[in-house]
Chains A and B, each alone.
Chain A
Amino acid sequence: SQQGEEDPQALSIQEGENATMNCSYKTSINNLQWYRQNSGRGLVHLILIRSNEREKHSGRLRVTLDTSKKSSSLLITASRAADTASYFCATESRRDDMRFGAGTRLTVKP
């Protein structure tokens, strides 16, 4: 079964608003990563947060990690139409395998 579960499955917002996506996972992890995918193309890495970190920022992206709740969130601030894509969380476990959730489909309306 997939390790991560994203919530919501789909999100539609207006340009300029913030978008928050959540990810829950099941087993102990080395790190958690967020990826973006545009229309069936290869995934592009956004941000990596290690199991001993609680928060990380990269430009308009903010990621939090709560290992006690086995959950993470991705916040995109001041969204743009170009942010429209699917966003996936992925967890690297102690076994070194990387597993992905089903993704959140984000639509940003101009």
Chain B
Amino acid sequence: NAGVTQTPKFQVLKTGQSMTLQCAQDMNHEYMSWYRQDPGMGLRLIHYSVGAGITDQGEVPNGYNVSRSTTEDFPLRLLSAAPSQTSVYFCASSFRNSPLHFGNGTRLTVT
């Protein structure tokens, strides 16, 4: 049972480049979400999804896109990377009204 798998673990981008952070879960969870964590801060919600085909914005959605074509996968796309998007990104999943299971994070640096 792999849980929540995030790839890549580390990524360096130049300003203006685009990329997709991958997130997959094998627990049949309907709820999936993306957070970013900046030094000394808590997690801020970027986007979330309550099921396949349904997504919604969180606190800091600008500059990011998501889609949920399957229950298992919830990729996060950075459209045009900016230095302000340098952060650690966490994907999480759960059943509704239940504890979140987190991936190990993707450490992104934008130069």
Contact = CB atoms under 8 A, between A and B. Distances in A.
A45 to B, nearest CB: 4
A42 interface: yes
Nearest to B98: A48
Contact of A43 (B31, B98, B100): B100
Given A30-B97, A43-B43, A99 B104 contact: no
Given A2-B42, A2-B44, A96-B96, A42 B59 contact: no
A101 B42 contact: yes
B75 interface: no
Contact of A42 (B45, B56, B98, B102): B102
Interface residues of B, number: 28
Interface in B79-105: 88, 90, 92, 94, 96-105
B48 A88 contact: no
Interface of B: 31, 33, 35, 37, 41-45, 48, 50, 56, 58-59, 88, 90, 92, 94, 96-105
Interface of A: 1-2, 4, 6, 30-31, 33, 35, 40-45, 48, 50, 88, 90, 92, 95-103
